[in-house]
Chains A and B, each alone.
Chain A
């Protein structure tokens, strides 16, 4: 499944506007979105952010990949909605049961809280994915260098990030090698033995890379030079400042007009609560059934 999602980061430099946008601007925008998302309780502005994030991703040609990755979170999302509607985590001043489904009592505040959590998750994920999938790793490296992140930790970070897709690929190969020898186990029991070859391989790779690094003079001088020279143009500055300003405004709005206090006592209509609950419960059960079926068949 993971193999079909494509590589994290952008393996080649893309040509769309989002790919070419300065990585520092993208990082600034992402930080703004995260701050606003955590300041805001109201589900509607959060959903709006998620939709904008998806549209931005689509304009850069990675919309379908972002959507596919978001789809992985469906079981988590659905379970949050189900659990919150049945038993809200925080009920300041008591919660209102708005409907009854057999033995189950559905709480209106719970549905709102669940929707808030879920849309916050979506907003952050959509924005983060739109940024990550359009960023070339060496641009990230250069951007962090400009933020005065020291060379060695920065390099280690960028190499670790590159190790992730490699480990992903190795896991898939090792699993297929074990199935090719008739391994009957599936699910977690099947994953366990594959840790040995994957991590032995990763260990050897890192060891060999270290030797290769030193053999190419790594650390020979304390005043290293840098191949990638990057400049921060006035347009980029403007874009970053605009993003941060929007973030500040959004945060203030999130803490005031979109805050949880404003929604106290607001109880959604019973049919909305029932509708959300049934859709979420069906998705949740469906995903679990699909999971069991694939385990049985594997």
Chain B
């Protein structure tokens, strides 16, 4: 990772309590550099979604500060932050309301004042990248749930924001579609988009994340390269994280103590071949 670059997302000592007094986030500090992919993991109730909702002003800090793309979220309305931070909700039902998928995809960029020809171009490109071309004329609510989820992701991608927040992007998806979503995220990151993904899907996390942030009970308990974070067996046990199966196998193999943590099948295959 390049050093010396100013972070595009800065969260400083964020504390958030709901009106009933429940503290959902307690002193979370985090920053992300432009173009990086940060995965946020933790059990339900650990504060992941609450943290994500602070990134585009859907929630405002009780104390602390959140700055995205140079904007302090407390000083700008959500619809203004929308041009800087795209947010894909966990449940696609909450996000889809247009009559056709094409309209759904065009809604965001139109709101941002993008000219019609470019809106059309963005809709077409995004639909292709997620395999949605056959559905462009369909009513979003008539599509099967996994496809709706793809539509909700696409409807935010067309806004081409420098920062993208995804809440559980692969929930309910099969392996083929989950891979497609991972590819899209990697391409976005390569093109300079900063991606912050909240996810339970450790296969996705291990495959795409530059940074892995672990929340537990509203506190940030780990923040680092996935390889380093997943090597902490005690952390995995206390937060009940389940590293990918291949990582678990590598950690359980006799005679590998002290060897580096494995995140993918090819890595372990190469290591075992070399050892022979």
| Chains A and B touch (C-beta atoms under 8 A apart) | yes
B interface bracket (residues with beta carbon within 8 Å of A): 20 to 34
Counting CB contacts under 8 A, is A177 at the interface?
yes
> Is A180 on the interface with B (CB-CB < 8 A)?
yes
Cβ A181 vs Cβ B94 within 8 A: no
Given contacts A183-B111, A184-B111, contact A200 B141 (CB under 8 A): yes
| A-B CB pair tally, cutoff 8 Å | 67
A201 interface residue per 8 A CB criterion: yes
Question: Is A177 in contact with B159, judged by CB distance below 8 angstroms?
Answer: no
- Residue in contact with A176 in the complex, picked from B19, B78, B156, CB distance below 8 Å: B78
**Restricting to A36-56, which residues have a CB under 8 Å from any CB of B?**
none
Query: Would A181 and B141 be within 8 Å (CB), given that A197-B96, A197-B97, A200-B93 are in contact?
Result: no
Q: What 1/0 flags go to B73-88 for Cβ under 8 Å of A? A: 0000111001101110
Question: How many A residues touch the partner, as a band?
Answer: 20 to 34
Residue among A3, A173, A181, A197 making CB contact with B108, cutoff 8 Å: A181
**Chain B contacts for A194, CB-based, 8 A:** 97
Instruction: Select which of A170, A173, A178, A196 is within 8 A of B141 by beta carbon.
Output: A196
Instruction: Choose among B91, B96, B159 the residue that contacts A182 (Cβ–Cβ < 8 A).
Output: B159
Is B29 in the interface zone, CB < 8 Å from A? Answer: no
Say whether B155 contacts A181, CB under 8 Å.
yes
A170 touches B111 (CB 8 A): no
The secondary-structure label for the interface of chain A is helix
A170 to chain B, nearest CB (A): 7
Q: How far, in angstroms, from A200 to B139 measured CA to CA in the complex? A: 12
Once the chains are docked, how many angstroms separate the CA of A163 from the CA of B159?
34
Cβ of B56 under 8 Å from chain A: yes
**C-alpha spacing A288/B156, complex, angstroms:** 35
Q: Which residue of B lies closest to A176 (CB)?
A: B58
Q: Does B89 contact A (CB under 8 A)?
A: yes
Q: How far, in Å, is A182 (CB) from chain B's closest CB?
A: 3
Measured CA separation A158–B97 after assembly (Å): 29
- In the complex, chain B residues whose CB is within 8 Å of the CB of A178: 97
Asked if A223 lies at the interface with its beta carbon under 8 angstroms from chain B, I say no
Closest to B81 in A: A180
Q: Does A297 contact B (CB under 8 A)?
A: yes
Q: Which one of B82, B93, B96, B111 has the highest number of Cβ atoms from chain A below 10 Å of its Cβ?
A: B93
List the 9 closest A-B pairs by CB distance, nearest first: A182-B111, A182-B82, A181-B108, A196-B97, A179-B78, A180-B87, A201-B93, A177-B95, A200-B141
22 contacts between A and B (CB under 8 A): A3-B19, A4-B19, A174-B97, A176-B78, A177-B89, A177-B94, A179-B82, A180-B82, A180-B85, A181-B111, A182-B79, A183-B79, A183-B107, A184-B111, A193-B97, A196-B97, A196-B141, A197-B95, A197-B97, A197-B141, A201-B93, A297-B77
